[in-house]
A and B are shown apart, each in its own frame.
Chain A
Amino acid sequence: MSGPGVGWYLIVAALLFGTGALGVMLRRSPLIVLLSLEIMLNAANLTLIAFARQHGSLDGQVFALVVMGVAAAEVAIGLGLIVAMARRRLPLDVDQASALRG
């Protein structure tokens, strides 16, 4: 394979995962926490695809496809929760949302 080796992609994925982790830990808006989670999932996907290329096996790509499906489900549920919070006039702040009762 000409061009950058698989290790370079793994480093990009690691940096991306760190960025997403920072977003999840530091931001308080549930929307931005969800967006940062997407970044983390995509970093994991990039790792899966890089290793699939490394080993010449498509199993990693199939798993990445499954991760995409799970991420779509997670976004649907997360956005539903945020809309439900907003409708009950709860503050959109993950630090204040500490009780499960509505």
Chain B
Amino acid sequence: MAGFLVWVIWFAAAAACLGTGVAVVSFANPFYSALSLIGNLASLAVLYLLLSAEFLAAAQVLVYAGSVMVMFLFVLAYLGGRADAPWAGGPPLLRTAAIVAAVALLVEIVVVLGLAWGDNLSDPAEVTGAFGSPAAIGELLVTDHLLAFEITSIVLLVAAVGGVVLGTTREKEATE
């Protein structure tokens, strides 16, 4: 019975995830795209919970759906009508090629997964309740993965400085 409930939740979350993903790509107005992406991130957080990644699900909602998407919406509001992007025409050949390439990529991924899935992925490892908890992840971050942790902090610092440099108006521009 519990297994059936998990299947129902998985199906709802996966359908919401794929549906909002298609919506992000197909809306002409970036505002609706950004709102769909919030739905996408929220349904992904549900999938993370089903995979017993509690801390990452919380981080996903806080970091992505919270701060990153708010930043997006601020920029969209700043750009106003200029941000609108209908499906511009372009050379039809280029467009067809892009569709063919993406479909090939997709089929390839699904086939590879299907092959690997046959024998290796049948029974997942048994995990305890501590799997995916903030304490367990935090301990790994400051022991085994300390270097990755420090590099991430430097990457974020560089991005913050870069954002300030890109956003600063120079004297010459301001007078124009």
Binding site for B on A (CB under 8 A): 1-12, 14-23, 25-29, 31-32, 34-36, 38-39, 42, 45-46, 49-50, 52-59, 61-66, 68-77, 79-84, 86-88, 92-93, 95
Complex contacts, A62 vs chain B, CB 8 Å: 137, 140-141, 144-145, 148
**Cross-chain contact of B53 among A4, A16, A53 (Cβ < 8 A):** A53
- Indicate if the CB atoms of B105 and A3 lie closer than 8 Å: no
- Indicate if the CB atoms of A73 and B56 lie closer than 8 Å: no
- Indicate if the CB atoms of B41 and A42 lie closer than 8 Å: yes
Range, interface on chain B? 35 or more
Binding site for A on B (CB under 8 A): 2-3, 5-7, 9-10, 14, 17-18, 21-22, 24-25, 27, 30, 33-34, 37, 40-41, 44, 47-48, 50-53, 55-56, 59-60, 63-64, 67-68, 71-72, 75-76, 78-79, 82-85, 87-88, 90, 95, 98-99, 101-103, 105-106, 109-110, 113, 117, 121-122, 124-127, 131-132, 136-137, 140-141, 144-145, 148-149, 152, 155-156, 158-160, 162-163, 165-167, 169, 173
Shortest C-beta distance, B144 to chain A (Å), equals: 7
**Cross-chain contact of A65 among B21, B137, B158, B163 (Cβ < 8 A):** B137
**Cross-chain contact of B160 among A65, A68, A76 (Cβ < 8 A):** A76
Can you show 22 pairs from A to B with CB atoms below 8 A apart? A4-B7, A5-B122, A8-B10, A9-B51, A15-B110, A18-B103, A18-B109, A20-B21, A29-B84, A29-B85, A31-B34, A31-B72, A32-B24, A32-B33, A46-B44, A46-B48, A56-B125, A58-B131, A69-B155, A72-B63, A76-B71, A80-B165
Complex contacts, B68 vs chain A, CB 8 Å: 38, 71-72, 75
Complex contacts, A59 vs chain B, CB 8 Å: 140, 144-145
Report the bound CA distance from A9 to B131 in whole Å: 18
Contact flag A27-B85 (CB < 8 Å), given A9-B47, A68-B63, A83-B167: yes
Contact flag A58-B132 (CB < 8 Å), given A21-B102, A68-B59: yes
Contact flag A22-B102 (CB < 8 Å), given A9-B47, A10-B113, A32-B33: yes
Complex contacts, B169 vs chain A, CB 8 Å: 87
Contact flag A27-B148 (CB < 8 Å), given A79-B75, A92-B83: no
- Indicate if the CB atoms of A56 and B44 lie closer than 8 Å: no
Top 5 closest pairs, chain A to chain B, by CB: A56-B125, A3-B6, A29-B85, A2-B3, A73-B159
Complex contacts, A34 vs chain B, CB 8 Å: 72
Shortest C-beta distance, B51 to chain A (Å), equals: 4
- Indicate if the CB atoms of B47 and A66 lie closer than 8 Å: no
Shortest C-beta distance, A24 to chain B (Å), equals: 9
